[in-house]
Amino acid sequence: MSETVKRNNPLFWLIDPLRSTASQADAAYRYSWSQMAWMLPLAIGIAGLVISAVGWATNSEQFYFSYLIGWAFCLSLTVGAYFFVIIQHLTKARWSVVVRRIPEALIWSFPLLMVLGIPILLGMHDLYHWTHHDLFDPASEHFDPVLAGKESYLNTPFFLARVAFYFIFWTFISFKLYTLSIRQDNDPDPSIPKLQRKYAAVGLGIGAVVTAFASFDILMSLDPHWFSTIFGIYFFAGSFMSIMAVMILVSIVLQNNGMLKKEIKLDHYQDLGKFLFAFTVFWAYIAFSQYMLIWYGNLPEETIFFRHRMEHGWEVYSAILLIGHFILPFVLLIGRWGKRWLPYLGFMAIWMLTMQWFDMFWLIKPVMEAEHASLGFYDVAAWLGLFGVFAAAFMYRFSRHALVPQRDPRLHKSLSFTNS
Amino acid sequence: MLNQIASEVKATMGIYEAQEEALYGIMAEFAHPGELLHAAGAVREAGYRHFDTHSPFPIHGMDKAMGMGNSIVGWITLGGGIVGLTLATWMQWWMSEVSYPINISGKPFFAIEPSIPVMFELTVLIASLSTVAGMFALNGLPRPYNPLFYSTNFLRVTDDAFFLHIAASDKQFDLVSTQKLLKDLGGKNIETIRDSGEED
């Protein structure tokens, strides 16, 4: 670690591993808004979590599922940011440098998510059917030969070890990418871009496998009989789409408060909008690939996933997901005008983030109540609670450093980027 | 009337018709891309519409300076996509429901689920083919002959020279004032191009 960047007090690591460098940021790239930007989400987050705690006291199973939905939503944003930053480094992308600090600040959410994930571990018995020991006991009346065959993979110690490994890996790569970029703000060391590319390459290859298996373990194993090899890509598609929405929203909020007014141009928004559109379509492509193969194969252990989501009221939620996550955004985002009209694009970004949460809800909630479709008050409370805390930590961390990677060698290309 | 519409449509493709005495237009050379960009904007502001710029490489901002606006090729793509989607849906329905129904493990003869890949592929195929065809048509391509080739100086356009050409078919075109405008903008080697439609 060089002179220019100092490590933070370890107690503070969950929020930001580095001391603030805001005072060394160029005046144009300095955060100049009130502390409300993180205090307000924090207040909403705490309120949501308090309500969720009440929900836990009254119905703990409901709480665990609602909490997992909100947590998976926050994880998907972080995973999306992780891959976005990596791809920008590996492709030496020029257009995105002015908005890259947003996902860079977001990837340091992995440690926080690890801590926020503790309630999920406490609720594993309610969430994950395969944690019930009698399933594996041939003498028991609950003996399940299919799950008994999966016991060597689906058992609690191995699950915990895997999830720990995923987070350690994500955190390690994120730490490197985050600190290198902040260091570059005030350190002209020419080897930094090369190092960033190196860690990005490792983070892409292994990270792809890690992310796929994380989605298998955390989301797919909720329904332990069911399996789908494309599930990791499904999770990635939604994640990558969400980070575009986040970048659009944060940019609009910053510009409305007088920051980066000249730096982020309509041309950047248009490209972010193109990606938002593209990954809405990509999500549908992957989701449909999964659906069609299961429809064609018509095997009971595979079709059960969709059967649970097409009966007892869940068919309405499935239709909302199809229309709201793909059909309407496809029409609404395809035009050039919509990507260059900021109030509209901001609305679409909020819409798509809501749909990403709804997608997580659709994946997780039917596991709890296949017989009775319901979107409850506690589902929303846990979502806003977790997302509030998550967003507050992000905004606080983001405000502590320059708002763009101010010494990135490709910054000037991004500043003069046009998209006619 | 029809002739006039046809020549207006051709003008949007960059194909201008020669006027009286085979007068095709006036061409001027500019020293560097910046000058050409400025000249294009000034010519546009002076009210000219039938003009074109020629350079060895694309120049950033030229579309805007020339007032080209957005291409309509996207609408051609949309049309192609709708045709492809309709064709694929109809084709699969007719084949499996009407022409040759086969019972495969009790599945419906025609169902939307297995038909979507073909619907998607045919939509993309016809949309992309019509995009390419539409792009060629809107640009008036292929066009092996251009009256500007009468100018020997123009041969340098693929190497190191930048040209602006104002067609005689423009409403504002006037041999004297147009020439003066190009000269005022810094144009060199100003030439009057005549297109007799014959070889030299």
CA–CA dist A283, A240 (Å, integer): 9
Q: What percent of chain A lies above the pLDDT cut of 70?
A: 99
Q: Does A153 touch chain B (CB under 8 A)?
A: no
Report, in angstroms and rounded to the nearest whole number, the Rg of chain B calculated over CA atoms. 24
pTM for the full predicted model:
0.83
**Minimal C-alpha gap between B108 and chain A (Å):** 11
Q: Chain A interface, mutation test: which of B82, B92, B105, B113, most A Cβ atoms within 10 Å?
A: B113
Instruction: Spell out the alpha helix ranges (H) of B100-174.
Output: 112-138
Of A112-121, A269-278, A316-325, B9-18, give the lowest mean pLDDT range: B9-18
Q: What is the mean pLDDT of residues A1-6?
A: 59
Distance between start and end Cα atoms, chain A: 42
pLDDT over 90 at A123, yes or no: no
**Minimal C-alpha gap between A417 and chain B (Å):** 10
Q: Does A337 touch chain B (CB under 8 A)?
A: no
Size of interface A-B (CB pairs under 8 A): 19
Angstrom distances, CA of residue B97 to CA of A37, B83, B114: 60, 21, 14
Q: Does A295 touch chain B (CB under 8 A)?
A: yes
**Minimal C-alpha gap between A236 and chain B (Å):** 22
Confidence band (pLDDT; 50, 70, 90) for A159? very high
Among chain A residues, the shortest Cα distance to B67 is held by: A420
Q: Does A418 touch chain B (CB under 8 A)?
A: yes
Q: Residues B145-175: pLDDT tens digits?
A: 888 888 888 888 888 889 888 888 888 788 8
Contact A291 B61 (CB under 8 A): no
Q: Which residues contact A369 (CB under 8 A, 6 or more apart)?
A: none
Using a CB-CB cut-off of 8 Å, the residues of chain A touching B63 are 420
DSSP secondary structure letters along A272-288: HHHHHHHHHHHHHHHHH
Residue A77 token pair: 């944003």
Q: Does A291 touch chain B (CB under 8 A)?
A: yes
DSSP secondary structure letters along A212-280: HHHHHHHTGGGSTT---TTHHHHHHHHHHHHHHHHHHHHHHHHHHTTSSTTTS-HHHHHHHHHHHHHHH
Q: Which has more confidence, A364 or B187?
A: A364
Nearest to A235 by CA among A216, A248, A250: A216
Q: What is the mean pLDDT of chain A?
A: 88
Using a CB-CB cut-off of 8 Å, the residues of chain A touching B69 are none
Confidence band (pLDDT; 50, 70, 90) for A237? very high
Q: What angle do CA A394, A41, A50 make, to 5 degrees?
A: 115
pLDDT of residue A1: 47
Nearest to A218 by CA among A148, A293, A279, A165: A165
User: Which of A295, A336, A420 has its CB closest to that of B113?
Assistant: A295
Q: Does A336 touch chain B (CB under 8 A)?
A: yes
Q: Residues B91-134: pLDDT tens digits?
A: 999 999 999 998 888 888 998 888 999 999 999 999 999 999 99
Contact B113 A336 (CB under 8 A): no
**Minimal C-alpha gap between B164 and chain A (Å):** 21
Contact B113 A418 (CB under 8 A): no
Residue pair B169/B11 in contact by the 8 Å Cβ criterion:
yes
Q: Does A330 touch chain B (CB under 8 A)?
A: no
pLDDT of residue B200: 52
User: Which of A295, A298, A420 has its CB closest to that of B63?
Assistant: A420
Nearest to A89 by CA among A2, A25, A4, A178: A178
pLDDT of residue A279: 95
Q: Does A288 touch chain B (CB under 8 A)?
A: yes
Place of tokens 């895997």: A162
Using a CB-CB cut-off of 8 Å, the residues of chain A touching B61 are 418, 420
Q: Residues A38-75: pLDDT tens digits?
A: 888 888 998 888 888 888 888 888 889 999 999 999 99
**Minimal C-alpha gap between B123 and chain A (Å):** 14
Among chain A residues, the shortest Cα distance to B108 is held by: A296
Nearest to B49 by CA among B62, B33, B35, B68: B68
pLDDT of residue A269: 93
